[in-house]
Structure 1
């Protein structure tokens, strides 16, 4: 590490210590409530998807979902002249999902040579933070879609998408409302999208519109016509549908223009369609953005920063927080098992 880099690191440590109200950021410390609010704000701003869902600080490590959102009919009439009293109705009267905030570690390092490369820049402190913050928050999204368990010792080689770090939103549906998870079609263990043929077998859904409509059909009746429903759709499914549209209309100038403008993937099954970052390529999830939450337990964020490790020529940052992925209204979320999806490509199901 060069001398100018050492000075820059010392300046970073002093600034971080002042911000967090501690003397030495290399010693593990608890993040203050004000700093926690800033971290939550940074999470919301890190990518568009996290800005649309709920990031909720909660006091208890274990409990039941807050139940954000409104479901059912509240409007009514009562003739009070006859002695009848007006009666209130519960804004949320569905079975709440249980949650448990589990500790998740976000430990990282930056090599000395990387630090040397931008130690002379005025925004050095911001660069150090951004080196890891965006990736940490992207990990939160990935786990939210892929997480199936919380293991004491995780295995990133076997679970590259954080499947064993924490239970995510898809797993919340599997565990708490299994009937809202489409597992298979006519063929055991498979959900086939495309036409197919008599030899290889017909598809369950001839196109993506029908697939989304069928997933939407798994919602509770009270939620099926909610105005804020969206379809989260994987990139492979969108590409597959777009490729078929190209094949049919690619030589028609007006239709090709629609494709280039991305208008062709605007809606599926009558719902606005979105492809979030890190979403399973063959996944479909029908819900509303505000029905998905990331709970972070208050006072659970622990950090230690800029620890020099000369044996490996790197500085190391350690961060942990207790967090849980919550579906606020379980009947308002439905999905399909993305690992079971097969597409009709070149005369075969793949």
Structure 2
């Protein structure tokens, strides 16, 4: 590392220490409540999807979902002139999902050569702060969809999507409301979408998944369908095959990107979502809980043996569905599409 790089790196480390009220940021420290709020704000700002869902600091490591949102009929009338009194109603009567915030580590390093390359820039502190933050937060989303277990020792080779890091939202449905997880059609452990399958098209598949929601929220105005890229591409290919040579129809394809609505719901594509997945819920029904006081960091630790600066960060997090019965999905590994004369 160049001497000039050491100067600006040390200045950055001192600034982090000052913000967190510690003497040395290269030694593990607990992030202050104010710094925690800043970190949550950074998480939300880093990704459009994280802006729309809930990221909530909670006091207890375990408990039950806060239960944000409401469903069902709250409006009523009562004639109080005859002695009757108005009675309040619970915002929703669906069962609460239990949660457990588990420690997740986000440990990264930056090569000395990389630091040397931008040490002369005035925004060095911003660059080094954001160097891996975007990818860390993208990982949070991927784990939220793929996470199936919390293993003591994870293996990114066999579980490239963080399947063993922490239980995510799909796993919450499997564990706490399995009847809302569509696992198969006429064929065991297969959900076939296409001509001759369980669902002739994606519209019907989404409509059937929506039908697995609790009756009280099946028609909520904020429902969306998160749909995997493989399913969208499959549907788009069929649309092109049928209408692609008609100029007016082709224009419609390009204009709407074929993602307008499916099964009567606004359809969205989220990075990190399983390519063959379908999840029907609302943005505000999905949460990431971060236990207060659980964030630990050490910043700028030099490892000369590897020519790199190392940053260690951990926090206790849980993926929560606020109203567990307001979420339904397909078991994405079981989805099969009719392609070239076979179900694949």
TM-score band (shorter)? over 0.9
Q: CA deviation at 1:82?
A: 2.1
- In 1, Cα distance between the equivalents of 2:237 and 2:131? 36
4+ residue runs over 6 A deviation? none
Of residues 296, 300, 305, the one that matches 1:302 is 296
State whether structure 2 residue 83 is matched by structure 1 residue 83: yes
Alignment of 1:33-52 (within 5 A): 33-52=33-52
Q: Over aligned residues, Cα RMSD in angstroms?
A: 0.9
State whether structure 2 residue 185 is matched by structure 1 residue 191: no
Equivalent position of 1:155 in the other structure? 155
- In 2, Cα distance between the equivalents of 1:14 and 1:262? 50
In structure 2, runs of 5+ residues without a counterpart are: none
Of residues 324, 329, 332, the one that matches 1:338 is 332
- In 2, Cα distance between the equivalents of 1:38 and 1:304? 17
Deviations 1:6-47 (A, max 9, x none): 112111111111222211100110100110000000111111
State whether structure 2 residue 251 is matched by structure 1 residue 257: yes
Alignment of 1:241-280 (within 5 A): 241-280=235-274
Equivalent position of 1:93 in the other structure? 93
Residues 241, 102 of structure 1: alpha-carbon distance in 2 compared, 3 angstrom cutoff: same
Deviations 1:173-211 (A, max 9, x none): 00000000000000001000111xxxxxx3111111111
Normalising by structure 2, what TM-score? 0.99
Query: What secondary structure does 2:138 align onto?
Result: helix
- In 2, Cα distance between the equivalents of 1:222 and 1:245? 34
Normalising by structure 1, what TM-score? 0.97
Q: CA deviation at 1:98?
A: 0.3
- In 2, Cα distance between the equivalents of 1:118 and 1:186? 58
In structure 1, runs of 5+ residues without a counterpart are: 196-201
Equivalent position of 2:314 in the other structure? 320
Equivalent position of 1:286 in the other structure? 280
- In 1, Cα distance between the equivalents of 2:100 and 2:9? 37
Count of matched residue pairs: 344
- In 2, Cα distance between the equivalents of 1:320 and 1:117? 28
- In 1, Cα distance between the equivalents of 2:254 and 2:76? 48
Q: CA deviation at 1:266?
A: 1.0
Query: What secondary structure does 1:222 align onto?
Result: helix
State whether structure 2 residue 15 is matched by structure 1 residue 21: no
Deviations 1:50-104 (A, max 9, x none): 0000001001001000000011111112222222221111112221000000000
Q: CA deviation at 1:263?
A: 4.0
